[in-house]
Structure 1
């Protein structure tokens, strides 16, 4: 299997991305990590004769993960894509950090319910939860590592301490250096040992790319294409090629509260849907939140003008969709039947009133100020997702 650096160079050679020395340096470190993981995996296999040789008379040193941080749009998601594609580890998991922590809290709650029912013993759920997580995946990869919730902050030190004891290796991307995590948070002093633990078990690397590649691809380009027709369809194809770095993209699914949400096309943190995919199917707010958390840029093809009460369901879903994208500062490129203020035509129903806010948000989402914002979550419930699964 080609290593991460080779995959990166192949993208450069094909013209899908421009060469950036800072990105290449991080790709080289990810390749080195994959080499260490290959040996570490072999030593972990207790049934292997070679594992016996590894462990005989010496204890294997744990593999240090990577914490990659840098400004928005520098290529962190793309590099994580390449790392995951080239990783030799079979039991691996990639998730946005907030989704991972939502899963952890749900597991803790389930353990406490079993404790009340007398099905398990022990007062502290952290150790068994960490053991279960480590059994499922011993390589954990987190996109957009950030800590804003005190409930997360108060358990992270113990949780990751147990995960590291189980031999788990962690790779994460973030917009902030570890020392600034949970900055000004309540009881932050109790959080500081976790930062020290991360710095001990993860190599901290700053991705100092020369430019905001994402903004470079969007700035000066039309992101609201109207009217509908062959010209706007072609423009959407061009936008996809530019944003996906020339990659064709692959289908994927998002797991949301036990359901599967289909993603027709995705690559490098960008996803492409039709209006019918998103608003003519029975999707809800949690589904749209999962999409907003998983992708920094979303393309929507062929948004029609919605007329009358017979289109109120589609209009309501579209309102919820735009709310999720806007609140998480997701970048939107769309083709539509008309300008935002003329997309929903009805004189009755609450959707007509609510659509005024949606139209205002759509107009703001076209501005350079909005397009320059980092992909971020605000104080709202996280969708219970298990990450992106390519299909």
Structure 2
């Protein structure tokens, strides 16, 4: 019988969480040389050049870092960081992982949710100690789904920056606009402003590279086709969409990567429009992890373009939802290719 994601209960160890702080398979070979800027959007070429320049400044932690301060030496000048801002599909993650691959010493890479889960699992002071000797801390997909997590990360960024650790982050929103349309607490806004002062912002313009050759299309699949393909494919999973959404409520988003360990392709039946943020944002994270690990998706039901309700697509999280639609369309195209039904 084909396994269902909804039957999995991942419980990654602390060692596993630390070991996962590297670029995912999709970006394991990403390099600056393979980032091809769109000539119609010069900001892409400028960002590539600036990342290359920034890489040359990375090295061992500066004298006066965290350990030196603990010994009573003068405090180091806070390290400056880079903040890559732009729409989905302009290559921000490619540039971030390219920096990781050329950074000397001990670079660290993770998504926002991976960092917050790790800090929660090991404790704040231990996490600071773990990262204090990093040459650069790479934070992909800076999130704002939870005020507490965001305040935790701004504190971590300040402390590591004070210790001389370079920090480079990506997001779809400029740091001074983080929280706009979502949270309005004054203490939160003050924290965000203090974080933004640590970064040089690189705006990256352009269209979604996944669609440069035209919109990705995948022909509709029937539930029978999806089930039959799942039953004859090694490593495949098969889930009813509602069952999967219900299960995602019970699994912390930081474990979604472990949820899809050793999965060759994901099969879904009964796909329908998601109408609330709780389900929508969890599914966004799952799609991100599937995309990172290059796991094709075969789905029956609503078309990918109709996955998120208009209310969600016009909300403060709209960029995340549109990024998810772009990535899911790409994965559905991969799934259709497995079936030999790609448009």
Q: Answer whether TM exceeds 0.5 for this pair.
A: yes
Q: CA deviation at 1:28?
A: 1.1
Match of 1:97 in 2: 112
Match of 2:140 in 1: 143
1:328 equivalenced with 2:263 (yes/no): no
1:159 equivalenced with 2:180 (yes/no): no
Aligned residue for 1:37, secondary structure, equals: coil
Match of 1:120 in 2: none
1:181 pairs with one of 178, 181, 202: 178
Number of equivalences: 252
Match of 1:106 in 2: 121
1:82 equivalenced with 2:98 (yes/no): yes
Counterpart CA distance in 2 for 1:68 and 1:134 is 21
Counterpart CA distance in 2 for 1:366 and 1:104 is 31
Q: Higher relative contact order by CA 8 Å / sep ≥ 6: 1 or 2?
A: 2
1:21 equivalenced with 2:18 (yes/no): no
Structure 2 gap segments, 5+ residues each: 1-29, 66-73, 239-243, 326-343
- Label 1:156 to 1:77 Cα distance change in 2 as closer, same or farther (>3 A): closer
- Label 1:278 to 1:102 Cα distance change in 2 as closer, same or farther (>3 A): farther
Counterpart CA distance in 1 for 2:282 and 2:77 is 45
Q: For residues 322-351 of structure 1, what are the alpha-carbon distances to aligned partners after superposition, in whole Å with 9 as ceiling and x for unaligned?
A: 989982173889586xx82xxxxxxxxxxx
TM-score using structure 2 length:
0.56
- Label 1:187 to 1:103 Cα distance change in 2 as closer, same or farther (>3 A): farther
Q: For residues 181-235 of structure 1, what are the alpha-carbon distances to aligned partners after superposition, in whole Å with 9 as ceiling and x for unaligned?
A: 12355562112332233232211121122x222233561533657998xxxx9xx
- Label 1:205 to 1:365 Cα distance change in 2 as closer, same or farther (>3 A): same
Match of 1:196 in 2: 193
1:279 equivalenced with 2:237 (yes/no): yes
Match of 1:8 in 2: 32
Match of 1:379 in 2: none
2:86 pairs with one of 64, 67, 70: 70
Counterpart CA distance in 2 for 1:362 and 1:22 is 30
- Label 1:162 to 1:129 Cα distance change in 2 as closer, same or farther (>3 A): farther
Structure 1 gap segments, 5+ residues each: 1-5, 47-57, 109-125, 234-273, 304-314, 341-358, 377-391
More strand by share: 1
C-alpha root-mean-square deviation of aligned residues, in Å? 4.9
Match of 1:113 in 2: none
| CA contact 1:77–1:143 (8 Å) conserved in 2 | yes
Counterpart CA distance in 2 for 1:143 and 1:72 is 12
1:375 equivalenced with 2:309 (yes/no): no
| CA contact 1:68–1:76 (8 Å) conserved in 2 | yes
1:215 pairs with one of 211, 218, 231: 211
Q: For residues 129-176 of structure 1, what are the alpha-carbon distances to aligned partners after superposition, in whole Å with 9 as ceiling and x for unaligned?
A: 453233463521111112231222444443333222222221000001
Q: Which runs of 4+ in 1 moved over 6 A?
A: 225-228, 291-294, 322-326, 369-372
Q: CA deviation at 1:289?
A: 5.2
Higher Cα radius of gyration? 1
| CA contact 1:37–1:63 (8 Å) conserved in 2 | no
